[in-house]
């Protein structure tokens, strides 16, 4: 593809020109220009993108403008997110890539999930002294939580299957942003502050992200020359330079002996903080053996739409799909808003019960994906929804071995499912002028991942293995730790077709609230009459089969009084590592029949996202 490569090189030159114009290296988008260009809604033609970040969306749009397709643009944006959203995604993590191929009319996926190292014991998370799992706060900042990264292999596979660019060319915009810098915004600074204590415990992490001992100031330029050099190395030598050779050796060594500052003590502000920095199990053999998986998507029909999602190892496709099947018999559009939301909350509790019982890595567990996405199973599960009263949580899982769509006797309550997934991650939606669509969710798990930067390489390693169940002694648990296994994910990149053409593509970060965010956004759009932008902006709540419903403050004030009579207990969202009471950070593109695309990003969450189109509508 020499022509296209030249074109992308030209793109890069354009970006680089604006970057190096200032004496000290002005980033591509600075000051007022930055604010002016960052918009959460963009409507037009010829291609579109929505990400959480201006620089990433710009990288995608430039690739599209110069003849690249949606897969090319998605990889360019993902690599850029690795620079500008380093606490959420990057080459130290993994993800799931969903592609609608306009030529074949098919949706296909790549599973780029991290895997457990081959020598990881099943009791790796268990404290031998107490026989109980270590607390998440200790496991997260450690080598033991690091899985074999899959993102780079995903990018290579996506380009090979569907793209036209070479990996090195797709990395070029990200190399420029890493080298020349980006403008620190409130979100980046706040995420750094939220992680300051644990980042300060690891020498390479504090020197990269806490220069001078503090989080970078809002409005300053953040450069990551180490990551630029790592990307350049990969651009030159290919993914082998990551999955083998010195970099692979350094990653394995870093995981096996996390670079904890020997002088570190908990700060006075958090004296009880314990960071044992447990060593992990990653070896160069694990890295050399890593492979992505080409997979068929999950599929359900919902009100005349074909909804395609990510099959296990993610629980996203089965759980969103099952909840839609549960809701299909109810006419949500005719109900009052509290009544429709009550049905939504009840449906997700049921679907989460089944996810907990049945979903794990299908290479290790017999996952009943067909049953979980069968409309008859969903119909039978819908019998458990009382239109007037919330069921006592947690609700029990259904029986996938015998179902016929007929209401069974009321089941007993199940054990509480501990939710240890967190609220980091990033997501993008990209479409091109040929009609191809990408929905891609990628992550390093917790915001800030393991907290461990590979020394001199400029990127954080994931803590994805904390997505396994911690107490892995239960042989019935499909998500127990097993060597070589992929931990169950909630990532739910979703592409919806209407009459075999794209209608809506969407996804979100947010740990297990990804599932509820994607579902709620679909319901907002399809059932409740909102536009796609309104559907994303609307306040969110997540019922994951727990006693309380996690909700944003805006949701509680708008619907709390309407939902309380049903028996729902709403509590504000938020966790120990995040100062924001937000759920998700969605992106989407809606398509009409005439090539018009509406790209939608968050107007406010995470500081607002960035939607762009190639040719704006007049
Ligand atoms: N680790 C989570 C998952 O795979 C995603 C984390 C997040 O979105 O914050 O489902």
Helix (H), strand (E), coil (C) string for 542-576: ECCCCCCEEECHHHHHHHHHHHHHHCCCEEECCEC
Top mutation candidate among 514, 573, 587 for ligand 1, by most atoms within 8 Å of CB: 514
List b or e across 579-612, with b for residues whose CB sees 16 or more CB atoms inside 10 angstroms. ebebbbbbbbbbbeeeeebbbbbbeebbbbbbbb
- The span from the CA of 531 to the CA of 537, in Å, is 10
Residue 38, pLDDT score: 86
List C-alpha distances in Å: 503 to 51, 316, 535.
18, 19, 14
530-575 residue pLDDT tens: 999 999 999 999 999 999 999 999 999 999 999 999 999 999 987 6
Residue range 108-161, pLDDT digits in tens: 999 999 999 999 999 999 999 999 999 999 999 999 999 999 999 999 999 999
Q: How many helices (H) and strands (E) does the chain have?
A: 21, 20
The three-state secondary structure class of 204 is helix
Instruction: Give bridge partners of residue 97 from the DSSP assignment.
Output: 110, 440
Centroid of ligand 1 to alpha carbon of 143 (angstroms): 18
Q: Give the gyration radius of the chain's Cα atoms.
A: 23
**Ligand 1 atom at minimum distance from 510 CA:** 8
Give the whole-angstrom CA distance, residue 56 versus residue 220. 18
Ligand 1: which atom is nearest the Cα of residue 447? 9
Asked if residue 19 lies in contact with residue 26, where contact means CB atoms within 8 angstroms, the answer is: yes
pLDDT at 37: 73
What is the C-alpha separation between 106 and 284, in angstroms, rounded? 36
Can you tell me the mean pLDDT for 168-174? Answer: 97
Quick: pLDDT tens for 463-505: 999 999 987 778 899 999 999 999 999 999 999 999 999 999 9
Name the least confident of 357-371, 527-541, 573-587: 573-587
Indicate if the pLDDT at residue 4 is higher than 80.
Answer: no
pLDDT at residue 31 in the model: 53
Q: What's the CA-to-centroid distance between 492 and ligand 1, angstroms?
A: 10
Ligand 1 pocket: which residues have CB below 6 Å? 421-425, 443, 445, 464, 467, 489-491, 509-511, 514
Distance 241 CA to ligand 1 centre (A): 27
Tens digits of residue pLDDT in 227-260: 999 999 999 999 999 999 999 999 999 999 999 9
For residue 530, the model assigns a pLDDT of 98
Q: What string of DSSP letters covers 30-76?
A: -HHHHHHH--SEEEEEEEEEEES-HHHHHHHHHHHHTT--HHHHHHH
State the chain's mean pLDDT as an integer.
91
Q: Which atom of ligand 1 is nearest to the CA of 512?
A: 10
Contact criterion met (CB below 8 Å) for 290 and 148: yes
- Measured between alpha carbons, how far is 372 from 322 in angstroms, rounded to an integer? 6
Residue 425 CA, ligand 1 centroid: distance in Å? 6
Out of 89, 425, 448, mutate this one to test ligand 1's pocket (max ligand atoms within 8 Å of CB): namely 425
Instruction: Give 413's pLDDT tier (boundaries 50, 70, 90).
Output: low
Pocket test for ligand 1, best of 421, 440, 544 (most atoms within 8 A of CB): 421
Look up the pTM and report it: 0.93
Span 301-320, mean pLDDT?
Answer: 98
343: its two tokens: 């049905």
**C-alpha 165 to ligand 1 mean position (Å):** 28
Q: How many Å lie between the centroid of ligand 1 and the Cα of residue 489? A: 6
Asked if omega into 369 is within 30° of 0 (cis), the reply is no
568: region left, alpha or beta (phi > 0 left; psi from -120 to 50 alpha): beta
Please report which confidence band the pLDDT of residue 277 belongs to, taking 50, 70 and 90 as the band edges.
very high
Per-residue model confidence (pLDDT) at position 407: 84
Given a cut of 50, whether residue 8 has pLDDT beyond it is: no
- Average pLDDT of span 592-603: 97
Residue 223 is encoded by which pair of tokens? 């450069």
pLDDT given for residue 406 in this prediction? 87
The helix/strand/coil state of 601 is: coil
Question: Which residues have CB under 8 Å from 409's CB, separation 6+?
Answer: none
Residue of 95, 113, 420, 445 to test ligand 1 pocket, by largest number of atoms within 8 Å of CB: 445
- What is the position in ligand 1's atom list of the atom closest to the CA of 508? 8
Structure tokens at 208: 């990269």
pLDDT > 70 in the chain, percent: 91
Q: What is the pLDDT of residue 12?
A: 41
Encoding tokens for residue 130? 């107490």
Q: What is the DSSP letter of 460?
A: B
**Atom 5 (ligand 1) nearest CA:** 511
CA nearest ligand 1 atom 7, residue = 511
Where do the domains of the chain lie, and which CATH numbers do they carry? Answer: 4-94+113-292+441-467 (no CATH), 293-421+490-616 (3.60.20.40)
- Measured distance between the N- and C-terminal CA atoms of the chain, rounded to whole angstroms: 33
Q: What is the rounded distance in angstroms from the CA atom of residue 214 to the CA atom of residue 371? A: 51
285 neighbors 258 (Cβ within 8 angstroms): no
Q: Which atom of ligand 1 is nearest to the CA of 422?
A: 9
Mean pLDDT for the stretch of residues 367-375: 98
Phi, psi (rounded to 5 degrees) for 66: -100, 25
Q: Ligand 1 atom 3: the closest Cα is on which residue?
A: 489
Cis ω for the linkage preceding 394 (within 30 of 0): yes
Q: How many residues does the chain have?
A: 618
User: To 5 degrees, how large is the angle CA 136–CA 139–CA 144?
Assistant: 150
**Distance from C-alpha of 390 to C-alpha of 393, rounded to nearest angstrom:** 8
Q: What is the pLDDT of residue 25?
A: 37
Measured from the Cα of 467, ligand 1's closest atom is 1
Tokens encoding 427: 């997501």
Ligand 1 atom with the smallest distance to the CA of 514 is: 8
Distance of CA 510 from the midpoint of ligand 1 (Å): 6
Q: What is the mean pLDDT of residues 255-272?
A: 95
- Each residue of 418-463: pLDDT tens digit? 554 445 678 899 999 999 999 999 999 999 999 999 999 999 999 9
CA 268 from centroid of its chain's CA atoms? 34
Residues 385, 202: Cα–Cα separation, whole Å: 49
Q: What's 437's DSSP letter? A: E
Cα(65) to ligand 1 centroid in Å equals 31
Nearest CA to ligand 1 atom 1: 445
Q: Kindly give the distance from the C-alpha atom of residue 420 to the centroid of ligand 1, in angstroms, as a whole number.
A: 10
Residue ID of nearest Cα to ligand 1 atom 2: 511
**Cα-based angle 108, 540, 546 (whole degrees, multiple of 5):** 90
Which residues form the catalytic set? Answer: 425
32's CB contacts (< 8 A; 6+ apart) are none
- Give the mean pLDDT of 260-269: 94
| Per-residue model confidence (pLDDT) at position 10 | 36
pLDDT the model gives residue 189:
96
Report how far ligand 1's centroid is from the alpha carbon of 47 (Å): 28
**What is the C-alpha to C-alpha distance for residues 351 and 512, in angstroms, rounded to an integer?**
12
Q: Do residues 322 and 328 touch, judged by C-beta distance below 8 A? A: no
At residue 33, the pLDDT reads 60
Of all protein residues, whose CA lies closest to atom 4 belonging to ligand 1?
489
Task: Give the pLDDT confidence score for residue 3 in this predicted structure.
Answer: 34
Atom of ligand 1 nearest to the CA of 315: 10
Residue 475's Cβ-count burial label (10 Å; 0-12, 13-18, 19+) is exposed
CA geometry: angle 448, 451, 455, nearest 5 deg: 120
The predicted structure's pLDDT at residue 574: 74
DSSP 285: H
């Amino acid at each position: 593809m020499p022509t296209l490569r030249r074109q992308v090189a030209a793109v890069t030159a354009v970006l680089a020109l604006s970057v190096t114009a200032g004496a000290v290296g002005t980033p591509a988008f600075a000051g007022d220009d930055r604010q002016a260009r960052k918009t959460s809604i963009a409507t037009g033609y010829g291609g579109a993108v929505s990400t959480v970040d201006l620089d990433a969306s710009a990288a995608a749009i430039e690739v599209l403008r110069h003849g690249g397709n949606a897969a090319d643009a998605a990889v360019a944006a993902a690599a850029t997110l690795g620079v500008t959203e380093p606490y959420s995604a990057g080459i130290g993590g993994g993800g799931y890539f969903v592609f609608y191929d306009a030529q074949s009319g098919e949706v296909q996926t790549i599973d780029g999930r991290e895997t457990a190292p081959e020598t990881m014991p099943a009791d790796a998370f268990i404290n031998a002294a107490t026989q109980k799992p270590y607390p998440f706060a200790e496991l997260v900042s450690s080598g033991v939580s690091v899985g074999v990264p899959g993102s780079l292999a995903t990018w290579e596979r996506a380009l090979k299957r569907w793209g036209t660019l070479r990996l090195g060319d797709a990395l070029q915009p990200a190399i420029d942003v890493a080298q020349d810098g980006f403008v620190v915004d409130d979100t980046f600074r706040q995420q750094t502050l939220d992680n300051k204590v644990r980042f300060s415990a690891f020498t390479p992490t504090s020197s990269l992200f806490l220069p001078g001992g503090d989080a970078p100031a809002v409005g300053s330029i953040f450069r990551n020359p180490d990551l630029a050099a790592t990307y350049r190395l990969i651009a030159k030598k290919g993914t082998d330079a990551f999955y083998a050779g010195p970099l692979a050796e350094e990653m394995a060594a870093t995981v096996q002996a996390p670079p904890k500052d020997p002088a570190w003590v908990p700060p006075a502000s958090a004296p009880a903080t314990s960071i044992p920095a447990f060593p992990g199990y990653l070896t160069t053999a694990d890295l050399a053996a890593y492979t992505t998986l080409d997979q068929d998507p999950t599929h359900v029909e919902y009100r005349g739409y074909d909804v395609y999602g990510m099959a296990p190892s993610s629980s996203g496709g089965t759980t969103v799909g099952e909840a839609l099947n549960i809701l299909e018999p109810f006419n949500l559009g005719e109900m009052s808003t509290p009544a429709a939301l009550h049905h939504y909350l009840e449906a997700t509790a049921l679907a989460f019960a089944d996810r907990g019982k049945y979903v794990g890595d299908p290479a290790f567990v017999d996952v009943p994906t067909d049953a979980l996405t069968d409309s008859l199973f969903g119909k039978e599960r819908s019998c458990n929804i009382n239109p007037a009263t919330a069921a006592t949580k947690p609700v029990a899982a259904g029986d996938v071995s015998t179902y016929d769509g007929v209401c069974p006797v009321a089941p007993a309550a199940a054990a509480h499912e501990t939710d240890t997934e967190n609220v980091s991650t990033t997501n993008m939606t990209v479409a091109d002028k040929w009609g191809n669509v990408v929905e891609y969710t990628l992550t390093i798990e917790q915001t800030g991942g393991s907290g461990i930067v590979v020394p001199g390489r400029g990127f954080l390693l994931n803590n994805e293995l904390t997505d396994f169940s911690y107490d892995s002694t239960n042989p019935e648990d499909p998500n127990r730790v097993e060597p070589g296994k992929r931990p169950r994910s909630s990532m739910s990149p979703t592409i919806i077709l209407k009459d075999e053409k794209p209608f809506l593509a969407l996804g979100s970060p947010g740990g297990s609230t990804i599932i509820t965010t994607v579902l709620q956004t679909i319901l907002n759009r399809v059932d409740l009459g909102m536009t796609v932008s309104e559907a994303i902006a609307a306040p969110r709540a997540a019922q994951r089969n727990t006693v309380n419903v996690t909700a944003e403050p805006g949701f509680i004030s708008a619907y709390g009084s309407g939902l309380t009579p049903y028996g729902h207990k709403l509590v504000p969202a938020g966790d120990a590592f995040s100062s924001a009471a937000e759920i998700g950070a969605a992106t989407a593109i809606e398509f009409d029949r005439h090539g018009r695309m509406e790209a939608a990003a968050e107007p406010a969450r995470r500081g607002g996202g960035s939607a762009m189109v190639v040719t704006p509508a007049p």
